[in-house]
């Protein structure tokens, strides 16, 4: 016979409804914001877009995908499926990102809040206090930040599934499910998550091994022979969990990708040694939580405090795997990038374990409830509160772009791809100089919507290829007021007041005529020059990004003759202890001309004569011996070697 819930309790469906309403509200508040600006954003989108277009991968190698040809695709398949509901691969990936940010913290918060109210309320307050620290101006690296800053999309999606598997295993154990059922759940979840990302899958396998080991050690039935016989199924499951991870094709693929050391700078840890010390601290706390749970009475007490076991095992897994990677790195086998990518799990599990520390200090918090122990707030509102505070702490950073604008551009480009673009066998489509869109988004659309090959993980290389490799250009899609958009004789059907569709061969002929004045700021758009070792356009121009750079432009005709000289306008990078910035210029391998910038001194006039052998093209080489990164000067995390910002080039 069904009984009505106690006055202070809500039905489970009502609790779930409150959580879903919270998620829906958070989605609505953040849906139009994009934070990530790294090239990873474009590369993950390209794979989602290809799966949406083909529902599989094309035969052979897709040169628009690079390493994404063999990247685990589980999370991208989910984004492609979700994108079908909105007719947009981009929206599918964006929604999966936001849901994973909330899902990771909803699952981790639910693990903490599975405690009885007496222990759970202090844990809740501590967890909320730690999450509130993430509202600081400098972000802390917890679950979700990896998609706000770097866009480790697959890692975050896999992490949310991993935490969900832990939560489900906890509830199965609390309900008295057979151990083999829990093991099967964890092993199957590990195999699924391996198809998304290796790091969370490895954590789950370690937790699975820990769960099985604890069950074997705590089983005191019978003598040694009977205990060994009873342990055999568990030992077999251990071997199955490891095999499901190692034998998965994604394991080898992710190990290969992990060899690349990307741009990742943990907020609180500048050295590998400091991360190692942090891992040891988490190992000690994790072991203490597990030992406290083991010492509890069998049955009801342990059942109510399974959070100590599962969060402790998660902490052991995250810290042990990171330490193992550090040891391998010292032996010349590990990955520095992989070490840094563990920091999101380490910080997040530290938050959860810190919330459980009062249980170690005050035994009275570890007493099992005698009857109904909950309250309306604790049972129904605490988890939505944790989810909301965690999510809001992640998204309080200024957004990079409006998602609706990106989705609109994607839709317009897909319509032109499917309905109006003429075939250009062996040639490519390039999206450049779209108003309001940074170079990274244009790069993303080129490789994602049009499968334009990428030869390097460089946005600027691809953006300048319509100029540097004209034989590959079939169509250029650009803003109507851009250099390309103003080539009226080159416009193709599909051009309007939002986008210009330009025929590539015609555009190349127009560019060969040269321009007397060429700007390089964001207002000028894609310049009519090929730049090497320059950054993207900014409000003031484009920074050089190394100790050498080059500018290649067509020389215009002035009257009946070619231009005789060229003048460059720019500004030096002078900051901190820098007292000078030297710039050496040479045109078409001609004599070098040196200029020096110093604080307080008038800027030199960078005017050079064009050699007599100059025909229709100028190649200007820059030597920049004083280039230095803002990171080296302690100014920011920017690792680019800056020396000089180019504003304009003028021919006379």
Q: Which of 511, 530, 558 is a domain's end point?
A: 511
Q: Are 171 and 235 part of one and the same domain?
A: yes
Flag whether 377 is in a domain.
Answer: no
C-alpha–C-alpha distance, residues 34 and 88, integer Å = 16
- Which pair of tokens denotes residue 186? 């964890």
What are the CA-CA distances from residue 567 to residues 410, 537, 646 (Å)?
39, 19, 11
Q: Looking at the predicted structure, is the pLDDT value of residue 25 above 60? A: yes
Non-local CB neighbours of 9 within 8 Å, separated by 6+ positions = 372, 374, 376, 379
Same domain, 496 and 626: no
In this predicted structure, what is the pLDDT of residue 457? 42
Mean per-residue pLDDT, 436-462? 79
pLDDT 10s digits, 265-291:
777 887 889 999 999 999 999 999 999
Question: What confidence tens digit (pLDDT) does each residue in 208-226 have?
Answer: 999 999 999 988 676 777 7
pLDDT at 148 over 60: yes
Helix (H) or strand (E) holding 543: strand 542-543
User: What DSSP character marks residue 647?
Assistant: E
Residue-wise pLDDT for 518-562, tens only, equals 888 877 777 778 888 888 888 889 999 999 999 988 888 887 788
Q: What is the pLDDT of residue 147?
A: 86
pLDDT of residue 124: 95
In a domain, 389, yes or no: no
Give the lowest-confidence range in 151-165, 179-193, 515-529: 515-529
- Does residue 6 fall inside a structural domain? no
Question: Would you state the structure tokens that stand for residue 505, as one six-digit string?
Answer: 């061969």
351 shares its domain with 431:
no
- 191: in domain: yes
For the residues of 445-489, what is the DSSP string, one character each?
HHHHTS----SSS-HHHHHHHHHH-GGGEEEEEE-TTSTTTT-GG
Task: Please answer whether residues 518 and 529 qualify as being in contact, where contact means their C-beta atoms are separated by less than 8 angstroms.
Answer: yes
Please indicate, yes or no, whether residues 408 and 289 belong to a single structural domain of this protein.
no
Whichever domain contains 573, its CATH number is: 2.60.120
Co-location of 348 and 404 in the same domain: no
Q: Which residue has the tokens 């900014």?
A: 538
Q: Percent of the chain, pLDDT > 90?
A: 52
The Cα 94–Cα 395 span in angstroms is 13
| For residues 444-470, average pLDDT | 72
Is residue 581 in some structural domain? yes
Mean pLDDT of 294-309: 88
393: in domain: no
* pTM of the complete model beyond 0.85: no
pLDDT in tens, 324-348: 999 988 888 777 778 888 999 999 9
For residue 349, the enclosing domain spans: 12-366
Closest to 351 in 3D by CA, of 109, 137, 551, 567: 109
Cβ-in-10-Å burial (0-12, 13-18, 19+) of 297 comes to exposed
As for how many domains the chain has, the answer is 3
Count of C-beta atoms within a 10 Å radius of residue 394: 26
pLDDT at 467: 61
Q: Is the dihedral of CA 297, 303, 307, 311 positive or negative?
A: positive
133 secondary structure, DSSP code = G
pLDDT at residue 463 is higher than 60 = no
* Residue 349, in any domain of the structure: yes
CA distance 600 to 115: 65
Q: Rounded distance, CA 59 to CA 51, Å? A: 13
Residues 83, 18 share a domain: yes
CA distance 434 to 650: 24
Percent of the chain exceeding pLDDT 70 equals: 93
Judged against a pLDDT cut of 70, whether residue 354 lies above it is answered with yes
Mean pLDDT for the chain? 87
Say yes or no: 574 and 635 in one domain: yes
Q: Give the distance between the most distant pair of CA atoms in the chain.
A: 104
Looking at the predicted structure, is the pLDDT value of residue 202 above 70?
A: yes
Residue 378's pLDDT is what? Answer: 82
* Residue where a domain terminates, one of 462, 477, 511: 511
User: Which residue, chain included where needed, has tokens 């990677």?
Assistant: 325
For 367-389, how does the pLDDT look when each residue is reduced to its tens digit (9 = 90+)? Answer: 877 655 667 788 889 999 999 99
Residues 331, 193, single domain; the answer is yes
Same domain for 496 and 550, yes or no, is no
- Does 254 score more than 90 pLDDT? no
For residue range 55-76, what is the model confidence (pLDDT) as tens digits? Answer: 888 788 888 998 888 899 999 9
Q: How far is Cα of residue 427 from the mean position of the Cα atoms in its chain?
A: 31
Residue 641 confidence (pLDDT) above 60: yes
Tell me which of 511, 527, 547 is where a domain ends: 511
pLDDT attached to residue 426: 82
Higher pLDDT, 6 or 484: 484
- pLDDT > 70? residue 187: yes
Token pair of 581 as six digits: 């910035």
Q: What is the pLDDT of residue 6?
A: 45
Q: Which of 136-145, 207-216, 424-433, 493-502 has the lowest mean pLDDT?
A: 136-145
Look up residue 72 and give its two tokens: 């685990």
Residue 125 clears pLDDT 90, i.e. is over it:
yes
Only one residue has tokens 């992640």, namely 394
Q: Which regions of 578-639 does DSSP assign to beta strands (E)?
A: 581-587, 593-597, 606-609, 617-623
Q: Can you point out the beta strands (E) in 21-138?
A: 33-34
Angle at 558 between CA 552 and CA 562, to 5 degrees: 55
Nearest to 242, CA basis, from 220, 267, 265, 210: 210
DSSP β-bridge partners for residue 549 = 622
Are the C-beta atoms of residues 349 and 285 closer than 8 Å to each other? no
Pair of tokens at residue 652? 């006379």
Opening angle at CA 328, ends 327 and 329, nearest 5: 90
Provide the residue count of the chain. Answer: 652
**The pLDDT of residue 364:** 86
pLDDT bracket for residue 144 (50, 70, 90):
very high
Structure token pair of residue 364:
């009275």
User: Which pair of structure tokens corresponds to residue 7?
Assistant: 């006055």
Query: Of 12 and 354, which is predicted with more confidence?
Result: 354
Average pLDDT over residues 146-162: 92
Q: 292 and 335 share a domain? A: yes
Whether residue 345 sits in one domain with residue 331: yes
91 band by pLDDT with thresholds 50, 70 and 90: very high
Q: What pLDDT does 373 receive?
A: 61
**Residue 410 within any structural domain of the chain:** yes
Residues 197, 187 within the same domain? yes
């Amino acid at each position: 016979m069904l009984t009505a819930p106690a006055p202070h309790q809500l039905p489970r469906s009502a609790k779930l409804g409150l959580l879903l309403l919270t998620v829906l509200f958070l989605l609505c508040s953040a849906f139009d914001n994009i934070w990530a600006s790294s090239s990873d954003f474009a590369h993950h989108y390209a794979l989602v877009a290809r799966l949406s277009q083909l529902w599989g991968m094309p035969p052979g190698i897709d040169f628009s995908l690079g390493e994404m040809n063999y990247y685990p695709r589980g999370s991208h398949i989910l984004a492609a499926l979700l994108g079908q509901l909105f007719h947009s691969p981009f929206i599918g990936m964006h929604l999966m990102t936001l849901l994973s940010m909330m899902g990771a913290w909803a699952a981790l918060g639910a693990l903490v809040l599975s405690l009885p109210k007496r222990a759970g309320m202090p844990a809740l307050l501590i967890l909320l206090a730690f999450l509130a620290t993430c509202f600081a101006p400098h972000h802390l690296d917890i679950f979700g930040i990896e998609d706000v800053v770097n866009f480790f999309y697959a890692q975050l999606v896999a992490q949310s599934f991993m935490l969900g598997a832990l939560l489900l295993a906890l509830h199965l154990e609390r309900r008295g499910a057979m151990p083999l059922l829990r093991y099967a759940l964890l092993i199957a979840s590990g195999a699924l998550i391996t198809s998304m990302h290796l790091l969370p899958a490895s954590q789950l396998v370690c937790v699975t091994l820990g769960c099985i080991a604890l069950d074997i050690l705590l089983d005191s039935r019978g003598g040694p022979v009977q205990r060994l016989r009873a342990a055999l199924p568990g030992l077999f499951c251990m071997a199955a969990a490891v095999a499901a991870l190692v034998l998965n094709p994604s394991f080898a693929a992710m190990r290969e990708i992990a060899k690349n050391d990307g741009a990742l700078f943990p907020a609180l840890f500048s050295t590998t040694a400091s991360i190692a010390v942090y891992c040891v601290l988490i190992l000690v706390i994790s072991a203490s939580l597990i030992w406290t749970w083991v010492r509890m009475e069998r049955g009801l007490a342990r059942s109510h405090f399974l959070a100590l076991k599962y969060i402790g095992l998660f902490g052991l897994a995250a810290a042990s795997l990171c330490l193992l990677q550090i040891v391998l790195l010292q032996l010349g086998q590990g990955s520095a990038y992989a070490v840094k990518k563990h920091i999101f799990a380490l910080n997040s599990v530290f938050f959860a374990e810190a919330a459980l520390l009062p249980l170690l200090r005050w035994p009275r918090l570890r007493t099992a409830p005698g009857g109904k122990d909950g309250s309306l707030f604790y049972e129904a509102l605490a988890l939505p509160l944790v989810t909301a505070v965690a999510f809001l702490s992640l998204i309080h950073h200024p957004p990079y772009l409006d998602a609706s604008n990106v989705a609109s551009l994607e839709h317009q480009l897909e319509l032109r791809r499917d309905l109006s673009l003429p075939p250009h066998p062996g040639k490519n489509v390039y999206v450049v100089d779209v108003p309001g869109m940074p170079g990274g988004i244009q790069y993303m659309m080129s490789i994602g919507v049009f499968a334009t090959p990428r030869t390097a993980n460089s946005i600027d290389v691809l953006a300048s290829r319509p100029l540097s490799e004209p034989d590959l250009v079939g169509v250029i899609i650009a803003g109507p007021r851009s250099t390309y958009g103003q080539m009226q004789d080159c416009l193709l059907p599909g051009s309007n007041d939002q986008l210009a569709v330009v025929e590539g061969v015609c555009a190349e002929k127009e560019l060969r005529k040269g321009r007397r004045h060429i700007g390089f700021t964001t207002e000028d758009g894609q310049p009519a020059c090929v730049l090497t070792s320059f950054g993207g356009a900014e409000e003031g121009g484009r920074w050089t990004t190394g100790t050498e750079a080059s500018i290649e432009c067509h020389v215009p005709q002035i009257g009946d003759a070619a231009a005789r000289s060229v003048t460059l306008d720019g500004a030096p990078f002078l900051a901190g202890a820098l007292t000078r910035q030297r710039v050496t210029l040479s045109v078409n391998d001609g004599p070098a001309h040196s200029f020096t910038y110093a604080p307080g001194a008038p800027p030199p006039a960078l005017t050079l004569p064009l050699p007599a052998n100059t025909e229709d093209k100028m190649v200007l080489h820059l030597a920049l011996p004083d280039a230095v990164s803002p990171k080296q000067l302690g100014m920011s995390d920017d690792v680019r070697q800056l020396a000089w910002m180019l504003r304009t080039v003028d021919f006379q």
